[in-house]
Amino acid sequence: MVRNQWYVVLESRELKDEPLGAIRMGERMVFWRDASGKAICQVDKCAHRGASLALGKIVDGHVQCPFHGLQYDPAGKCVIIPANGRSAPVPEAFKLKNYPTHEERGFIWIYFGEPGCESPAQGPRFFDDIPEDMKWSTVVDPWDNHYTRVIENQLDQAHLPFVHHNTIGRGNKTVVDGPGILRVEDGFFVFVFNRLDDGRPRRTSAEVPVPDPSRDYKLELRYPNLWQNYISPKVRVVGAFVPVDDTHTLLYLRFYQSFMRAPVISSLVNWMAGRLDLIVAHQDRRIVNTELPRGDGMGTGEILFPGDGPIMEYRKLRLEAMRKLAP
């Protein structure tokens, strides 16, 4: 995982009144809410004996270790060691590593920074063109590969008529013109021009039109792990590719719609759409889980072709982020 980035790691609905333990970015983390309801993320390892705080509880706005009752504040500082007595000072060494959090539109991000690195003043951004009143539902799906493999699958246009021949890839449109790519500040747009093979040579990315990204069908990657399939002004699919460790990913897949407003019917529509999205995702997962090596695919000796342009663009973004970390 590339550090010094804001990563989506949870949905807000998952974090309630008790501590929540989760493996994220290859680390055991504990999430909890302070007295104001703000999401807190800390490394899930008590400074005393290394026990999991996720098995503890919230006491007076602090997370309490279930082993010996040590309590930690939202900044990670231990405020009481019961065995020493409530009036005894707590040594500075008793503290937890904190990750800054941001919560918006039902997602929780953490700033996965290097030791001693402060989070930037500007937090991450959700998609500006998804109205807040759009109805949505989420399915969460585990994949057995690196999160970059799962992201690259959603940028891959050439696999559609083969992996999804009976769903979204119907029509045998095997030729990938372009794709059209438009780089923006925190990611890029992809414009799809797949067509039937009629013998004409494929068009290059320079030869395909790049439409107005405010109105045309497109894919959008918001680096590092958020993606949108803009199907129409009233229908979107959003994916958050949450890194668990080097070989496991959780795909948070959301269906958004604004064509049905009636509460009961809209819930049913969203539930059914979520099930269909999961069917499509499982067609992908069956293949992506077999990709070798099971990890970051960069530099593995793959031989790419022009239709892989969006994957190449994503890898450029990661390389740029890694180079910023280089001493």
pLDDT at residue 309 tops 80:
yes
Does residue 96 belong to any structural domain of this protein? yes
One domain for residues 311 and 242: yes
Q: How many CA atoms lie within 13 A of 77 on its CB side?
A: 6
Does residue 123 belong to any structural domain of this protein? no
One domain for residues 171 and 105: no
Q: What is the pLDDT of residues 225-234, one digit of tens each?
A: 999 999 999 9
Q: What is the pLDDT of residues 142-167, one digit of tens each?
A: 999 999 999 999 999 999 999 999 99
Q: What is the pLDDT of residues 179-198, one digit of tens each?
A: 999 999 899 999 999 999 99
Q: What is the pLDDT of residues 66-119, one digit of tens each?
A: 999 999 999 999 999 999 999 999 999 999 999 999 999 999 999 999 877 778
Q: Residue 74 belongs to a domain with what CATH number?
A: 2.102.10.10
Using a pLDDT cut of 90, give the percent of the chain over it: 88
Last residue of a domain, one of 53, 79, 112: 112
One domain for residues 86 and 150: no
pLDDT of residue 74: 97
Does residue 125 belong to any structural domain of this protein? no
One domain for residues 39 and 142: no
Position 281 confidence tier, pLDDT thresholds 50, 70, 90: very high
Does residue 301 belong to any structural domain of this protein? yes
pLDDT of residue 299: 67
Q: What is the mean pLDDT of the chain?
A: 94
Does residue 275 belong to any structural domain of this protein? yes
Does residue 236 belong to any structural domain of this protein? yes
* Residue-number span of the structural domain to which 54 is assigned: 5-112
Q: Residue 295 belongs to a domain with what CATH number?
A: 3.90.380.10
pLDDT at residue 294 tops 90:
no
One domain for residues 95 and 196: no
One domain for residues 164 and 26: no
One domain for residues 146 and 267: yes
Does residue 119 belong to any structural domain of this protein? no
Does residue 203 belong to any structural domain of this protein? yes
One domain for residues 101 and 140: no
One domain for residues 162 and 91: no
One domain for residues 92 and 240: no
pLDDT at residue 124 tops 90:
yes
Last residue of a domain, one of 58, 78, 112: 112
| Domains identified in the chain, total number | 2
One domain for residues 178 and 272: yes
One domain for residues 172 and 277: yes
